Structure 1
Amino acid sequence: MALMITDECINCDVCEPECPNGAISQGDEIYEIDPNLCTECVGHYDEPQCVLVCPVECIPKDPTHVESKDELMDKYNIIQASLG
């Protein structure tokens, strides 16, 4: 399951540099997460790094992008292959 950033985001800028896949970017009003790049840090870390650093806890799982750990690992492998 990809993550999402809710409108409680305060644009503090701490999540974007933590994302190993480059899935987080500044949107029109708040930061956004690209569900095609978000693996919840599977393949990189045990926990989503953006969630760990968010001071307002506005990064829940995105119910419109449900994925299993295996699917997230497959996505991670695809992303890594495209970089190499």
Structure 2
Amino acid sequence: MSIKITEKCINCGACEPECPNQAIYEGGKKWRMSDGTSLKKNKILDPTRFQEPKKKDIYFIVPEKCTECVGFYDQPQCIIICPVQCCIPDKKNYENKKKLIQKKNFLHGNL
């Protein structure tokens, strides 16, 4: 499952640089699948195309890019670093470890 940021977020930004997939963005910021990944433009998917922000006022995590740090760290780094514990598992976006590894490999070209 991916991680999500709750409304308790104080916009400190501590989580953003900790994400190995660059899946965390400042509220209101457009994002791309190619940010922090090795995805390249192709006929099926244009990962360089900007997407609309998921949230306007607080930091947000893009579930399509979040791997819970699987393949990088033993624990999600955003959860560890957050001073107000607003980074929590997103039960609506459950993925088992195998799926998270597949997503990590897709994002970083390790297929």
Settle same-fold status: TM greater than 0.5: yes
Cα separation, 2, equivalents of 1:45 and 1:63: 20
5+ residue gaps in structure 2?
28-55
Cα separation, 1, equivalents of 2:93 and 2:74: 20
- Residue of structure 2 equivalent to 1:30: 58
Correspondence list, 1:1-84, <5 A: 1-27=1-27, 28-81=56-109
Q: Which amino acid aligns with 2:9?
A: C
Cα separation, 1, equivalents of 2:10 and 2:102: 32
RMSD: 1.0
Q: Which amino acid aligns with 1:47?
A: Q
The structure with the largest helix share of the pair is 1
TM-score, scaled relative to structure 2: 0.72
Question: How far does residue 21 in structure 1 lie from its aligned partner after superposition?
Answer: 0.1
Rg larger in structure:
2
TM-score, scaled relative to structure 1: 0.94
5+ residue gaps in structure 1?
none
Question: How far does residue 64 in structure 1 lie from its aligned partner after superposition?
Answer: 1.2
Question: How far does residue 63 in structure 1 lie from its aligned partner after superposition?
Answer: 1.3
Percent identical among aligned pairs is 51
